[in-house]
Structure 1
Amino acid sequence: MPDLQFPDLAELLAVAHVVSLPMRVKFRGIVQREALLIRGPLGWGEFSPFPEYGDAEASRWLAAGIEAGWQGFPEPQRNSIPVNATVPAIAADRVPEILARFGRVDAVKVKVAERGQSLDDDAARVAAVREALPDAAIRVDANGGWDVATAVEALTRLAAVGLEYAEQPVPDIAGLAEVRRRLRASGVPVLIAADESVRKEEDPLKVARSGAADLIVVKVAPLGGVRRALAIVAQAGLPAVVSSALDTSVGIRAGLALAAALPELPYACGLGTVSLLAADVTRDSLVPDDGVIRLREVAADPELLAAHAAAPERRDWWLDRLRRVHAVLASGGGGSA
């Protein structure tokens, strides 16, 4: 990140707002989504790494937020971004309720491999999505929750409803390659997408070199900004799906900037997740309309920032985290945009 576009800590602290937004349903074990928002000369940025992430990993999220507010986004190639609906690891009978919040969609991502649930639960959830949307593309996301044998068994079974792809069925790159090999050998037509194996690896291109995936999932914040994500996609040479990290509309705006700037956008993006929040920081939320989100600017609303301000102890926790992570980024450690 060029020095002229890197704000000092005092500048960030002066424009920081910490919010806590209720979730409509539990997602990744979360019922309240906390985020720190910063306002730069070119717009709003978001810093919202999940609490368990260390400072080095979180520094990429701060780099992305600073890019949004102090550097701006690349020129768009398109102004309308197709998005998928997201169905958390809920009971099958709640699927219609969740899908209704997204309006018309052509693709749905279904969470599977939730701890404490069974393959029968996953199959019922996926079948409920197929029943509700007979013509939609369905992709499943295991977040690395299976081992190789379980992944092959599960995807062979779930493939009966017609899967567009399976996202991160196992946690490691070698396992992805083996799942992909076994499915191909068995004639199971499920593509493998890498998510955590791109954004959590020190070398995000390793998954492409290893032949472990048919496509990659890219998220702006974990990769350190729109420009760095664009470079990774270009070097990987694989089709890309742009997704979110349960962001507010401020963070989704950065995801839309990435999707808008990619030379090709072959898959619907996972950027409709504001629909999973029961509140937002803007009155013009970036949510799907007829299966797409149209590119537009986002400004946090002062009244909403105040209404959803985090408790004092949580605000202090986030500001302390900002101080530590800014130091990592300023020193050249962690990620960079």
Structure 2
Amino acid sequence: MPAAAPLDELLAAAHVVTLPMRVKFRGVLEREVLLLDGPAGWGEFSPFVEYDDAEAARWLAGAVEAGWVGFPAAVRGWVPVNAIVPAVSAAEVPGILGAFDALHTVKVKVAERGQSLAEDAARVGAVRHLLPQAAIRVDANGGWDVEQAVAALRMLSAFGLEYAEQPVPTIAGLAAVRAGLGGSVLIAADESVRKATDPLAVARAGAADLLIVKAAPLGGVRRALEIVAEAGLPAVVSSALDSSVGIRAGLALAAALPQLPYACGLGTVSLMAGDVTADSLVAVSGGIAVRDVAADPALLARFAAPAGRRDWWLARLRRCYALL
């Protein structure tokens, strides 16, 4: 991968932006993103700032694939997309859902630090009240222990859950929750795939019913496709609070999977108050058409990060490049 894009070429192609959020998500009100303008298209390098270089290097590999190699062939031209409700109050749910189109599937954040299960239930219940026919999935980001997860998911299952994403942090914990629920709620693994040294360990342990896969954290679209094939489990493609450039990589992954049984979590651009293209990759009629996007020079200038933050990202790029 480094041979495909020399370091000096990456540095010359880099643009760093700070995109404002409409609502706090993962504790973030501004999303910093480094974009790469490559010969095959635009790539995005945007690991969260707290990630170490070893983890962030996989995101750089994905950005280089997008910008210098290109994406594999697609088997579908349209990808269904879920709406997402952050850990807001139940009263805020209608306003959040109003930003999304064709609400056939909704992911609801739960187990937020400092919040209660009652607040989670109120949030999920508000979604169910507004959307009686929608598929609802919950995402705990590993915020519960096993006992809490089993109790919470038994309660929340009253609203009808499609699945629960990463209810506990560990693979052993996922297996215990899955056994404790006895199949009443399907378990999806996210962090146990994308942040693991061995992304296939969760499948070998029988700890999940399906996988959440994200192109950037797994090292690019091709590597993510390999992981799904080797795991032998259904997959949901999701994003990591990307700009439309990053969403394009997620679309490429979803478009190339042989089977796509679930709506994908690629709707996070709708949570942003700014983007790097005027033609954002947001859902229309419940999904996104697979197409290329290019960053707009005027928007790159408008959202350009301060010099100090640009320097920080370029230094990070250099360090991560050395690890590829």
* TM-score between both structures, scaled by the size of structure 1: 0.95
SS at match of 1:13: helix
Residue aligning to 1:332: none
SS at match of 1:258: helix
Residue aligning to 2:167: 169
SS at match of 1:198: helix
Residue aligning to 1:334: none
1:122-160 alpha-carbon deviations (Å, 9 max, x no partner): 000000000111100000000000000000010000000
Count, aligned residues: 324
1:30 partnered with 2:28: yes
Shift of 1:4: 4.5
1:138 partnered with 2:136: yes
Task: Note the 1:107-186 alignment, pairs <5 A.
Answer: 107-184=105-182
SS at match of 2:17: strand
CA distance in 2 between partners of 1:99 and 1:288 (Å): 13
Give the gaps of 5 or more residues in structure 1: 330-337
Residue aligning to 1:199: 194
SS at match of 2:253: helix
Give the gaps of 5 or more residues in structure 2: none
CA distance in 2 between partners of 1:259 and 1:94 (Å): 30
Shift of 1:189: 1.6
RMSD: 0.7
CA distance in 2 between partners of 1:288 and 1:131 (Å): 22
Residue aligning to 1:290: 285
Task: Note the 1:310-321 alignment, pairs <5 A.
Answer: 310-321=305-316
Shift of 1:218: 0.1
Shift of 1:290: 1.0
CA distance in 2 between partners of 1:71 and 1:57 (Å): 21
1:153-187 alpha-carbon deviations (Å, 9 max, x no partner): 10000000000000000000000000000100xxx
Q: Equivalent of 1:257, from 228, 252, 258?
A: 252
Give the residue type in structure 2 aligned to 1:14. Answer: A
1:48 partnered with 2:55: no
Residue aligning to 1:335: none
Task: Note the 1:267-282 alignment, pairs <5 A.
Answer: 267-282=262-277
Shift of 1:105: 2.0
SS at match of 2:323: helix
Residue aligning to 1:13: 11
Displaced runs of 4 or more, over 2 A = none
SS at match of 2:68: helix
1:325 partnered with 2:323: no
CA distance in 2 between partners of 1:132 and 1:310 (Å): 39
Identity in percent: 72
